[in-house]
Amino acid sequence: MEIRTVTAINERQASRSAPTAPGSLPLLGHALRLARRPHQFLSTLSALGPVVRIKIGGYLGYVVTEPGLIRKAFVTHSDQGILAERTRPLTGEGVIVLQGQRHRQERRLIAPAFAKARIADYASVMARQGAECAQSWRDGQEILLNEEMHELAVRTMAATLFQGTLGAETAGHIHRLLPPVMTLLVRRGTRPAWTDRLPLPSNRRFEVMLAELKAVTRTIITSRRAELAADPEHDPGDLLGALLQARDDESGAMLSDTQVHDELLNFLVAGTQAAAATLAWIFHELSANPNVEAALHAELDAVLTNGRPAEFADLERLDVTKRVVTESLRKYSPWLTLRQITEPTTLGDVEIPGGVLLFACPIAVHRDPAFHPDPMRFDPDRWLPQNRARMSPDTYIPFGMGARQCPGNVFALTQITLQIATIAARWRFRTIPGSEVKEVAIGAFIQPTRMPMRAEARF
């Protein structure tokens, strides 16, 4: 396995035209600011210029803040560098961290798992999970909506990954283990690598929980292999089955059990965190924006007769719902995208030395009033066709871009749209007076803190 190194800080090698972000500390650089409030810190840097230099634990990085330059840099360069390598304890040899030719081959292998026909099959599972969630509340019940949506996202991902009883049994373990593992993983990524080997309580806790999470997925793969040995034609129609049957058209290669295991964890990491956050933020915004909520309910009442669960065939008629989802992904998008460049390059008028990390902050772009007027206003009408036609595609990047664009973006959009429609057709949620919802970075996503809400039945 080739692991590329990142250039240690050498002021003489650094560009003369890129300003350095304020607040750098000796040895640590900007690591503490990234660890504590990463998206708030990165969102301040566009005021300094289109490319801004930062330091992280002795290494040099450049934050690209201008959308056109982000596209140039992040489409041209596809390797993610040493910080992505730091996620390997969790993601292993999955598509999130693989580089070069291995990344391209892995994407080809997993692509059939996200083909349109497969998505249509998964949609019934997504809708069923949403309907079961909607049936679990009573009128007037106070719930922690962010917890409910995280459990829904985990159960949906587990059910689409592993059909049958395995999915149900696995969901509880994932719901308990994944958030703290992700939080600890990000903290490890913003500090020097050598600290991972220290006998710190956080390191021990991370290793114990990670071992338990991996044991769950290995058990599932072993069980499915036994089923396939007994019946080679067996295909329950889930993501695990698609991965076990995947074959590269160019080389004929199939995924090993280790590769399948790592891809499952990649899907769990990316799929559950993003879907849970987006579902929760949407209901938070609907509560705060009654006109948007009324327009959504009017559409759902017309399409989903008597509050029935949404189906895959309904998607083409759920225009308001899809705009609500799009706007939520703008306002509450990931805070970090990474690339590593191996050769010197130029971005705008800034000379970038080879071997450094490039950072982009999608949520900073999405909340920049230069690209999205009144960015903190939740306005799904931004995405009406006539408005979207005036918008540069470079200013909306919730799923990344280029060779690293999320391979599961259609899966995620389908899940979120169907579940918002299914739940909102039957329920509205009201914020509990006196409660305050704050943003917190967990993994690469912006999650809500405690979100207490009251469920009000519509039917």
Per residue in 132-151, pLDDT (tens digit) is 999 999 999 999 999 999 98
What is the pLDDT at residue 99?
74
Q: How confident is the model at residue 339 (pLDDT cuts 50, 70, 90)?
A: confident
Who wins on pLDDT, 182 or 366? Answer: 366
Who wins on pLDDT, 336 or 192? Answer: 336
**pLDDT value at 46 more than 80:** yes
Q: How confident is the model at residue 199 (pLDDT cuts 50, 70, 90)?
A: confident
Q: How confident is the model at residue 291 (pLDDT cuts 50, 70, 90)?
A: very high
Mean pLDDT of 342-361: 89
Distance in angstroms (rounded) separating the CA atoms of residues 135 and 158: 19
What is the pLDDT at residue 454?
97
Mean pLDDT value across the chain: 86
Distance in angstroms (rounded) separating the CA atoms of residues 329 and 344: 33
Most confident of 62-66, 73-77, 246-250: 62-66
Region of poorest pLDDT, from 225-229, 322-326, 336-340: 225-229
Mean pLDDT of 299-313: 95
**pLDDT value at 178 more than 50:** yes
pLDDT in tens, 71-81: 988 887 767 66
**pLDDT value at 232 more than 70:** yes
Distance in angstroms (rounded) separating the CA atoms of residues 255 and 257: 7
Mean pLDDT of 273-300: 97
Q: Give the other-Cβ count within 10 Å of 227's Cβ.
A: 15
What is the pLDDT at residue 413?
96
**pLDDT value at 321 more than 90:** yes
Question: Sign of the CA dihedral 186, 190, 195, 199?
Answer: negative
Q: Is 406 annotated among the ligand-binding residues?
A: yes
**pLDDT value at 381 more than 90:** yes
Token pair 């579902």 in the structure block, residue? 279
Mean pLDDT of 59-72: 91
Contact (Cβ atoms closer than 8 angstroms) between residue 369 and residue 405: no
Distance in angstroms (rounded) separating the CA atoms of residues 184 and 87: 10
Domains and CATH numbers, the chain: 31-457 (1.10.630.10)
pTM for this entry: 0.86
Token pair 């996503």 in the structure block, residue? 445
